A and B are shown apart, each in its own frame.
Chain A
């Protein structure tokens, strides 16, 4: 005992204690994070009867049953005289009691408290929810639209933001500083203040209910990504530019052959962030897209919920499908997120 106390008083013991507490808090927090996700997945694999009768279960399951006198009865693990048996519940009687029998000897009835016995379950997984959900909505159409918006927009964003970030990081001119401050100030600008005229502009162009309003603006750079790319470009040594200049490279060639290859991690980061933004975006697709053949997954899923609210299993199945691509991308590019590569530009 004394040795334990000594350990706690020592610096090493202190550290062990703190690490233990930290791990404990992190583990409990993780449970709070993961249980809703587990619930989403398990609900997507249940059938409506399970959702109604066994909604709180984190597993897609059904009661185990056994045939007794020609009827299917639920099976329980019961304790009789200190011995554990698997008995069927054949009748509930008032007062929380039930009549249990051994399925092989149905004539001997044991009256026991139901709540003290453990009901037995079997896995009951409904994979067919997934094809059913996909067929209940134009899923592939939504997916196609989402992919077009996400990847064409990403290409436009990377193209325009690289050019602009290069302009702001490598050239000196009187107005460039002013422009850069203007650009930064638009980060704080609430989008609503420009949304309505932009909507009207797209309407006059006949672009409402097409994917163009979600894609075309990406080709004109945005403050956030320009800022991150510029911060990264600034860290690339000027000597590399100079060497290329001596070899006769023009500014565009320097961008293509010197800067962009060096800036790969930054380009990947802003690309990933754009994917997550475009994939999850709901507000703009909701405003600009009016008929179902043009919807993205986010709008399609919300509308599916509005029509099929009672079919929780199908809605959760599509929800799972919708969160899988971001999660996969996240696992393949974890380092970028967890080590905060992307955020180094904004601190301090």
Chain B
């Protein structure tokens, strides 16, 4: 018995085989680094596993640890009723950050992108400056902001006090109330990353739409709301979904800002205990891989639900040009 030789195969089969051959690196990677580990972590989420001893099946115990006490906590309004209050704290911190950072980021980066799409002198220099922070984002920038925001020796509070006349400037990262807003400010400095995506989107808006609007007597503000904004909604949608996912991955800035501070990682008083920070602690500090896998899967499901909600709502506010032409 012999396999049919490559030469004797039909053209279509040869094309298909060649195509599969080229995507083999991705298929292998997908099996080893994506789908295999996903299934494994789903399995681990039902076990107790500390890496050294073999995983021990515990059924739904890890999920029960997350969700039990939820009714008592709601009924009494006391978060100590949760079996794992820190999980809910982490969820709250993450959603709080998202509720501040995502709208601000959207408004500021879209606004800047519109300005940077004007024909003003030196536009390339302005674009360069605004994009600069997002290419250096990381440990160095986080260390810089920790020092700027330091309430004792930083530069921001003297400025707020002496120039703006604010008597009691906040303690920023040292204050549980202000730690998340401080991180939001740090993030807004690097707004250029999403701004450049909007800018690319703006450059794709056909100019004849603006010309038509001008002929109809629309002023700049009307042109923005009736032409630019609808045309940009797919990009806004894209940034919103990725921003949501990014918030649940948020880690480096918190680690740099808090791991060597008095409040410890996620401090002060768990005010910066982001979801990913809590997951990291369970996985790589306590080596509680079973519970960490549970957290990872709950995170995955939360993201699926939130993305689904954004997708659902997108029918009402995201505009795709094809629909107008009736080709849908």
Q: Which of B73-81, B94-102, B118-126, B170-178 contacts A (4 or more CB under 8 A)?
A: B118-126
A172 interfacial by beta-carbon distance below 8 Å: yes
A200 at the interface (CB under 8 A from B): yes
CB<8 Å pairs between A and B, sample of 14: A30-B126, A36-B189, A55-B153, A163-B22, A168-B19, A173-B17, A221-B25, A282-B252, A282-B255, A312-B153, A326-B135, A343-B196, A346-B197, A347-B197
Nearest-CB distance from A35 to chain B (Å)? 9
A191/B118 in contact, CB under 8 A:
no
Are B204 and A347 within 8 A (Cβ)? yes
| CB of A145 closer than 8 Å to a CB of B | no
- Nearest-CB distance from A228 to chain B (Å)? 12
The reply to whether the CB of B279 lies closer than 8 angstroms to some CB of chain A is yes
Query: Which B residues are in CB contact (< 8 Å) with A281?
Result: 138
Contacts of B224 in A (CB 8 A): none
Binary flags per residue of A220-233, CB closer than 8 Å to B gives 1, else 0: 11100010000000
Is chain A's binding surface mostly helix, strand, loop or mixed?
Answer: helix
The 3 closest A-B pairs by CB, nearest first: A220-B29, A171-B19, A167-B22
A72 in contact (CB, < 8 A): no
Cβ of A243 within 8 Å of any chain B Cβ, yes or no, is no
Q: Say yes or no: A192-B249 contact (C-beta < 8 A), given A203-B51, A302-B255, A347-B235.
A: yes
With known contacts A166-B22, A220-B25, A276–B121 Cβ distance under 8 A = no
Most B CB atoms within 10 A — which of A36, A183, A331?
Answer: A36
Q: Which of B127, B148, B321 contacts A36 (CB 8 A)?
A: B148
| B148 near A39: Cβ-Cβ < 8 Å | yes
A residues apposed to B, CB below 8 Å: 18-19, 22-23, 25-26, 29-30, 32-34, 36-37, 39-40, 43, 51-52, 55-56, 160, 163-164, 166-168, 170-176, 179, 182-183, 186, 188-201, 203, 217, 219-222, 226, 251, 255, 276, 279-283, 286-287, 298-299, 301-302, 305-306, 309, 312, 315-316, 318-320, 322-323, 326-327, 330-331, 334, 337-340, 343-344, 346-348
B87 at the binding interface (Cβ < 8 Å): no
Provide the B93-121 mask, 1 if CB < 8 A to any CB of A, else 0.
00000000000000000001001101111
Q: Once the chains bind, are B303 and A188 in contact (CB under 8 Å)?
A: yes
Is A190 in contact with B249, judged by CB distance below 8 angstroms?
yes
Rounded to whole angstroms, the CA-CA distance of A282 and B51 in the bound complex is 23
Partner of A19, one of B116, B120, B147, B249: B120
Residues of B within 8 A of A280 (CB): 136-139
Using known A-B contacts A283-B252, A322-B139, determine if residue A190 contacts B23 with beta carbons closer than 8 Å. Answer: no
- Check B116 against A26 for contact (C-beta < 8 Å): yes
CA distance A220 to B33 in the complex (A): 9
Instruction: Please tell me if B241 contacts chain A, counting CB pairs below 8 Å.
Output: yes
Closest Cβ of chain B: how far from A114's Cβ, in Å?
16
B269 CB within 8 Å of chain A? no
B248 at the interface (CB under 8 A from A): yes
